[in-house]
Chains A and B, each alone.
Chain A
Amino acid sequence: MTCTEFLAILDEVIDQSIAAETRAEIEVHMKKCGHCEVVFNTTRKTIEIYRAHELYELPTDLRDRLHNAIMEKCKKSKGPCS
C-alpha cells in the first residue's frame, strides 16, 4: 500500500467501514509509515474534539423563547391538513 492509496481510503478507515483484509494492510502501512500514522491519528482526534464540544450552544431561556415562538406561529398557520 502507498501513501496515496492510504489517503484514498482514510475516511473509510476512520468510519470503520472497511473490510478486515484491507484493515490489516492499513495496519502494516502505518507501522512502516510515520506520516500516515500521524495523519490517521490526528484526523480521528479532530473529529472527536469537534463531536465533544458544543460550539453553538442554545441557552435555555433563548431556547424556550424560540420554541414558544415556533409553536405560536404553527398554531396560527393553516397547518399541514389544509
Chain B
Amino acid sequence: MMATIQSVAGDEGQHPDIALVERVKAGDISAYDELVRKYERQVFRIAQHITQNREDAEDVMQDAFLKAYEKLDQFQGNAKFYTWLVRIAVNESLMRLRKRRTGKLVSMDEDIETEEGRVPRDFADWAPDPEQNYDNSELSEILRKTIQGLPRGFRVVFALRDIEGLSTEETAEALNLSVPAVKSRLLRARLQLRERLSRHFRPGAKPAPPPRQAGSPAGKRV
C-alpha cells in the first residue's frame, strides 16, 4: 500500500491504517476515502450476514462509515481501525434489525436454543473436491442457504472469524462477547455447517437437494 512507502522513521511496525486515521483527524478527507475503499466490501458482507437483506446491508454500510467518520476522535490507536469499524457495523446492523422488528431488542449475546452442532452426527466422508460437482451459481446458492439457516449468533461468529479472518480476540471485541463464548459458538457453527453441507457433498449426492429437508433437525443417523 502507498502508506508503507511513505513511512516515516519511528513508524516501523505500525499498521498503515493508523497513518490514514491521523490524516483524517487532521482534516484530510481523501485519507478517509482510502479507508472506505479498503473496507467497504467487508462491511457490506458483514452487514449482509447479520441482516440477511441486501437493502439493509447497503444502508448499514453507509451509516457505519458515516458514524465511524463522525466518531473517529473516539478511536484509540491501541485497537485496529478495522476491528473498531466492524464493531460499529455490527451495532448498526443490529439497530437495523430492531427497526424491522418494530422495536424488539436484538442483541448478539442472546441464548441460542439449539442442540444442533454440539456433537457431530454425520460421519460420511465427502467426495474429493465436492464443490466441483456444482456450477458456481448452484454452489453459491447451497453455501448461502446453508449459512443463512444458522442461528444469527453462530452465523456472525463464523463470518467474522472464518470468512473475514478476524482473530478470536478481535471477533470477541467486535461482537462484545467473551473469548470463551466466541470459541464455543465458532465450534458449533463450524460443526453445523459441516453437517448441513454433508448432504450435498457426500459422494453421489444429487445436485438438486430435496426442499423438504431444508431446516429440518439433524436426522438420527448414528
On A, residues with C-beta under 8 Å from B are: 7, 10-11, 14, 34-35, 38-39, 41-43, 45-47, 49-51, 53-56, 58, 62-63, 66-67, 69-71, 73-75, 77-81
Question: Is there an interface contact between A43 and B191, defined as CB atoms closer than 8 Å?
Answer: yes
Interface size class of B (residues with CB under 8 A): 35 or more
Known contacts A11-B190, A43-B191; A77 and B126 CB within 8 A of each other = no
Residues on B with C-beta less than 8 A from A47 are 162, 190
Question: Is there an interface contact between A42 and B194, defined as CB atoms closer than 8 Å?
Answer: yes
Question: Is there an interface contact between A80 and B73, defined as CB atoms closer than 8 Å?
Answer: yes
A34 to B175, CA, bound (A): 36
Task: Give the secondary structure class of A's interface.
Answer: helix
Residues on B with C-beta less than 8 A from A67 are 36-37, 40
Question: Is there an interface contact between B194 and A69, defined as CB atoms closer than 8 Å?
Answer: no
Which of A53, A58, A80: most chain B Cβ within 10 A? A80
On B, residues with C-beta under 8 Å from A are: 24-27, 29, 32-33, 36-37, 40-41, 44-45, 48-49, 57-58, 61-62, 65-66, 69-73, 119-120, 123-126, 130-131, 139-140, 143-144, 147, 158, 162-163, 183, 186-187, 190-191, 193-194, 197-198, 201
A74 to B45, CA, bound (A): 21
Residues on A with C-beta less than 8 A from B71 are 80
Known contacts A11-B183, A38-B125, A69-B62; A51 and B162 CB within 8 A of each other = yes
Q: A7-B119, A56-B48, A79-B27 are in contact. List 9 more A-B contacts (CB 8 A).
A: A7-B120, A11-B183, A39-B191, A41-B125, A77-B69, A78-B70, A80-B25, A80-B69, A81-B73
Residues on A with C-beta less than 8 A from B126 are 41-42, 45
Residues on A with C-beta less than 8 A from B24 are 80
A73 to B67, CA, bound (A): 10
Question: Is there an interface contact between B41 and A63, defined as CB atoms closer than 8 Å?
Answer: yes
Residues on A with C-beta less than 8 A from B48 are 55-56
Question: Is there an interface contact between A70 and B190, defined as CB atoms closer than 8 Å?
Answer: no
A74 to B24, CA, bound (A): 11
Residues on A with C-beta less than 8 A from B72 are 79-80
A75 to B66, CA, bound (A): 10
